[in-house]
């Protein structure tokens, strides 16, 4: 495994590899790696000759400065896990390497409705920050494919839109959400949960399963209300949203008889930590 900290050096190396006919897969992460990230490394290894994992806690996507300060950083362990998975290249840049012009550089991406719905509504500026870092990483690595987790459903849609906007010849490949034994979606933020809250946090998975089971029997609005009540009565302090939406447009569905792909998404707080999760209710 080769570790690069400089953008120029990793680009140079990967351009050489491309000339040799090798395909490149990129797995962008913010570190504090877990099985969810490692499943994407695995997926990239199955699909590409060279797998690049980037580790960068991107300051421009945090709308809450305290969340940024407290974001777990476990670089030595991350490198150990990536080495064990036989990841080929790790890119571990500094902030100035990603943002040579400073973090405030004004570039705006037209994300249309994706910008203001769901996560966009509760985390203003978040997806612009995600696009900034992903635009830069795609430019540095120039991968053939990039691998993202469906755990961040809306983020996957935003990045697909970014790829389309920039007309990049890059395929987006989605990996399934990896969960703990009791259903809690793995997340770097889970490490900040106490044992008791971690146990209670599985209520998100139960709520999503409840929606899936009863979709079609009850109106979406009723299911959303039931699920939010369930979360609050099972230890969650606040619920930003429980939304049953069209899986392509992310617009709310009002009736259960739609033929479209339907996804239920939840964002809720437990023990001061904001968790998100989702489930495809109807493919
Ligand atoms: P993050 O480090 O949280 O920015 O995540 C990096 C990538 O890993 C993103 O594409 C996430 O969607 C993905 N990811 C995070 N958690 C999981 C999970 N539990 N299962 C699958 N992919 C995940």
Percent of the chain past pLDDT 70, that is, above it, reads 99
Question: Residue range 252-271: average pLDDT?
Answer: 90
pLDDT of res. 106: 79
pLDDT of res. 191: 94
pLDDT of 216 strictly over 90: yes
C-alpha–C-alpha distance, residues 265 and 177, integer Å: 13
pLDDT of res. 105: 76
Ligand 1: residue of 36, 123, 180 to mutate (most ligand atoms within 8 A of CB) is 36
Percent of the chain past pLDDT 90, that is, above it, reads 96
Please tell me the pTM assigned to this model. Answer: 0.97
Give the model's confidence band at 164: pLDDT under 50 very low, under 70 low, under 90 confident, else very high. very high
Residues with CB under 6 A from ligand 1: 29-30, 36-37, 39-40, 148-149, 151-152, 175, 177-178, 185-188
pLDDT of res. 254: 80
pLDDT of 258 strictly over 90: no
C-alpha–C-alpha distance, residues 225 and 243, integer Å: 9
Give the closest residue to 2 by CA, choosing from 52, 77, 42: 52
Question: Residue range 174-188: average pLDDT?
Answer: 98
pLDDT digits over 80-130, tens only? 999 999 999 999 999 999 999 999 877 899 999 999 999 999 999 999 999
Give the model's confidence band at 162: pLDDT under 50 very low, under 70 low, under 90 confident, else very high. very high
**Shortest-distance Cα residue to atom 5 of ligand 1:** 29
Give the closest residue to 136 by CA, choosing from 246, 240, 56: 56
Residues 6+ apart with CB under 8 A from 122: 240, 241, 267
Q: Is 37 a catalytic residue?
A: yes
Give the model's confidence band at 213: pLDDT under 50 very low, under 70 low, under 90 confident, else very high. very high
Domain ranges of the chain: 2-175, 193-282
pLDDT of res. 40: 99
pLDDT of res. 200: 98
| Cβ(62)–Cβ(42) below 8 Å | no
Q: Supply the CATH classification number for the domain 193-282.
A: 3.30.1300.10
Query: Ligand 1 centroid to 93 CA: how many Å?
Result: 19
Q: Which of 35-49, 66-80, 101-115, 147-161 has the least mean pLDDT?
A: 101-115
Give the model's confidence band at 23: pLDDT under 50 very low, under 70 low, under 90 confident, else very high. very high
Ligand 1: residue of 25, 90, 152, 205 to mutate (most ligand atoms within 8 A of CB) is 152
Query: Ligand 1 centroid to 35 CA: how many Å?
Result: 9
**Shortest-distance Cα residue to atom 8 of ligand 1:** 37
pLDDT of res. 104: 87
Residue 277's DSSP bridge partners are 266
Residue with tokens 């949960």: 193
Give the model's confidence band at 255: pLDDT under 50 very low, under 70 low, under 90 confident, else very high. confident
pLDDT digits over 273-282, tens only? 999 999 999 9
Question: Residue range 117-146: average pLDDT?
Answer: 98
C-alpha–C-alpha distance, residues 105 and 94, integer Å: 16
**CATH for the 2-175 domain, from 3.30.70.360, 3.30.70.980, 3.40.50.620, 2.60.120.10:** 3.40.50.620
**Shortest-distance Cα residue to atom 10 of ligand 1:** 148
Q: What does pLDDT average to over the chain?
A: 97
Return the ligand 1 atom nearest residue 178 CA.
Answer: 20
Ligand 1: residue of 41, 138, 151 to mutate (most ligand atoms within 8 A of CB) is 151
């Amino acid at each position: 495994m080769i570790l690069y900290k400089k953008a120029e050096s990793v680009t140079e190396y990967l351009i050489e590899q491309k000339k040799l006919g090798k395909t490149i897969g990129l797995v962008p992460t913010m570190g504090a790696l877990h099985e969810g990230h490692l499943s994407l490394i695995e997926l990239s290894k199955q699909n590409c000759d060279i797998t690049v994992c980037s580790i960068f806690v991107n300051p421009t996507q945090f709308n809450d400065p305290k969340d940024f300060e407290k974001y777990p950083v476990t670089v030595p362990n991350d490198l150990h896990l990536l080495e064990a998975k036989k990841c080929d290249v790790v890119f571990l840049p500094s902030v100035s390497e990603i943002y040579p012009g400073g973090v405030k550089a004004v570039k705006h991406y037209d994300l249309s409705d994706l910008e203001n719905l769901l996560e966009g509504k509760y985390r203003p500026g978040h997806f612009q920050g995600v696009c900034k870092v992903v635009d830069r990483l795609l430019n540095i690595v120039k991968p053939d494919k990039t691998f993202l987790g469906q755990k961040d459903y809306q983020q996957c849609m935003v990045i697909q839109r970014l790829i389309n906007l920039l007309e990049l010849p890059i395929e987006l490949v989605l990996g399934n959400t990896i969960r703990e034994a009791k259903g809690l979606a793995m997340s770097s933020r889970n490490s900040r949960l106490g044992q008791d809250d971690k146990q209670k946090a599985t209520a998100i998975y139960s709520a999503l399963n409840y929606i899936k089971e009863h979709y079609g029997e009850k109106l979406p609005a009723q299911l959303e209300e039931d699920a939010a009540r369930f979360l609050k009565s099972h230890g969650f302090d606040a619920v930003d949203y429980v939304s049953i939406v069209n899986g392509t447009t992310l617009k709310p569905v009002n009736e259960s008889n739609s033929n479209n792909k339907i996804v239920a998404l939840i964002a809720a707080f437990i023990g001061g930590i904001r968790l998100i999760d989702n489930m495809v209710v109807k493919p």
